A and B are shown apart, each in its own frame.
Chain A
Amino acid sequence: MNRMPQNVDSTQAIAESDAIAVERTLAGDRDAYRVLVERHSQNVFRLAYRMTRNRHDAEEVVQEAFLRGYQKLGQFAARSNFGTWVYRIAANYAIDRMRQRQKEEARREAPKTDDRDGMENDPLSRVRDEAPTPERLTQSIELRKQMEHALAALSEAERTAFVMRHWEGCGIEEIAVVLKSSSNATKNTVFRAVQKLRQALQPFVETRAQARAMGTEL
């Protein structure tokens, strides 16, 4: 959980500064919105990337979230937190994008390749195609591949709930709003997601742990 690493004071200061920027934007100062975009883009990208597992889609989600945020800024309640609000917009759009991507992939019916977007910047994935790979590297690559597959196999709601809770540290109520679900149902969704990930990954994690114990892992 690495969202909002700042302390309470700085978080509050940012929220207050955000509120002023929102007011100024609503008063017609378009440049005030730039402050909000520049401040929150990284966090929104991280959420979007973890949900979509695709850099191109994640960048599109970020842009769309801020565009929609601007269009709906009049509906933003002043007492809310802009960061949380734009996060919610991004999560909703990321869900739409995932659905669209799923349909496109189903239509194509092409066999899935191993070098998914989620691994495009990963040096380990490039090494795999090169000549003889040490066992430890192969295991790491295999685990990485399995993790991507396990995340891709979650339903949109499960992946959203897991990303928002485990990686982004969002509250259950906040996730429930995005999923348009109750708190209890959202807790169940988080549970199902972790349970499925565990079922899919535990054998690989244990193999790696054993290899590590035997000194054949990194």
Chain B
Amino acid sequence: MKHMTEEELIAYREGVAEQRAAISEHLAGCEECREELQRIEAVLAALDTLPVPDLGADYGHQVWKKIAPRLPEKPGRWWQAWLEPRRLASAGAVMALIIAAFVAGRFTNRGGPVDNAATKEQVRERILVVAVGEHLGHSERMLVELSNAAPNGPKQKEINISAEQRRAEDLLQENRLYRQTALQDGDAGLASVLDDLERVLLDVAHSPDEVTPAQLEAIQKKIEARGILFKVRVVNKELQQRQDATTPAPPQNDSTKTERNKV
């Protein structure tokens, strides 16, 4: 008889098992698994005896007395969230992109009789490709630095990764914007890689400022296991190729011919 794994039994006990009925059925006929479950339950039951201080029935009133003088005159409105510095920075990045796309579109339209819509679309894509490419480059550099980080010696108990953590936080904001844009543009491949990257950036951003060598190794293993550096490099290369493809060829006028002839 195939027994239940520890993971299945814990999931069953904590009410998150997917095949609950099947596990119940197995437990009914398997004493060994029942005993294993009882051992898990004994540990959890012991933990349930840990006390939580009783603060009395008027605790809520005490909390109100403490926070009431600190409350602003009116509660925050939904739009105030958009005035937070981080949101403003993200919104600024998007605005810069839109303005750049608009200006570039206007500039390229001054040429001859070209298809305006197609050209605008190409310019927009080119700007996005450049921006995402830069973002991936920055992410790659941060991840490489983190992957190569190591304690200075066996005596070093903690490694400071606060710089990488802050960069990950900033990159996270950008990444969300680019992932959403990629999804809107129907670029599922790029969106998927950005989604993977987002998880890694989240892990790094949520790490403590100073980590033990073991914690650092765990982060490095996560980066390695997800193969994110490889994916980022591949997509970045593809983006460069797309960038080359969307960049219009230089005008073939006499002066360029002359320049080439000089070489």
Q: Which of B22-30, B35-43, B102-110, B250-258 contacts A (4 or more CB under 8 A)?
A: B35-43
Residues of A close to B40: CB separation below 8 A: 194, 198
For A33, A37, A209, the residue with the greatest tally of chain B CB atoms inside 10 Å of its CB is A37
CB-CB nearest 7 A-B residue pairs: A38-B60, A41-B60, A73-B75, A74-B77, A74-B78, A71-B76, A41-B63
Question: Given A37-B63, A41-B63, 13 other A-B contacts at CB below 8 A?
Answer: A28-B74, A37-B67, A42-B55, A71-B76, A72-B76, A73-B76, A74-B78, A102-B208, A106-B210, A144-B50, A166-B14, A197-B47, A198-B39
Listed by A's residue number, 22 A-B pairs whose Cβ atoms lie within 8 Å are A28-B74, A30-B71, A38-B63, A41-B64, A66-B63, A67-B71, A70-B72, A70-B76, A74-B76, A118-B50, A151-B47, A165-B14, A166-B47, A172-B16, A180-B202, A180-B206, A191-B11, A194-B40, A195-B10, A201-B46, A205-B46, A206-B42
The CA of A39 and the CA of B63, in the complex, are separated in Å by 11
Residues of A close to B112: CB separation below 8 A: none
Q: Is the CB of B81 within 8 A of A194?
A: no
Q: Is B260 an interface residue (CB 8 A)?
A: no
Q: Is A81 an interface residue (CB 8 A)?
A: no
Count how many chain B residues have C-beta atoms less than 8 Å from C-beta atoms of the other chain: 47
Q: Is the CB of B71 within 8 A of A197?
A: no
**Residue on B with the closest CB to A62?**
B63
Interface string of B50-83 (1 = CB under 8 A from A): 1111010001110110111011111111111100
Count how many chain A residues have C-beta atoms less than 8 Å from C-beta atoms of the other chain: 61
Q: Is the CB of A121 within 8 A of B53?
A: yes
Q: Is the CB of A143 within 8 A of B63?
A: no
Instruction: Give chain A's interface residues, CB within 8 Å of chain B.
Output: 25-26, 28, 30, 33-34, 37-42, 45-46, 49-50, 55, 62-63, 66-67, 70-75, 99, 102-103, 106, 118, 121-122, 143-144, 147-148, 151, 156-157, 165-167, 172, 180-181, 187, 190-191, 194-195, 197-198, 201-202, 204-206, 208-209
Residues of A close to B16: CB separation below 8 A: 165, 172, 187, 190
Q: Is B209 an interface residue (CB 8 A)?
A: yes
**Residue on B with the closest CB to A58?**
B53
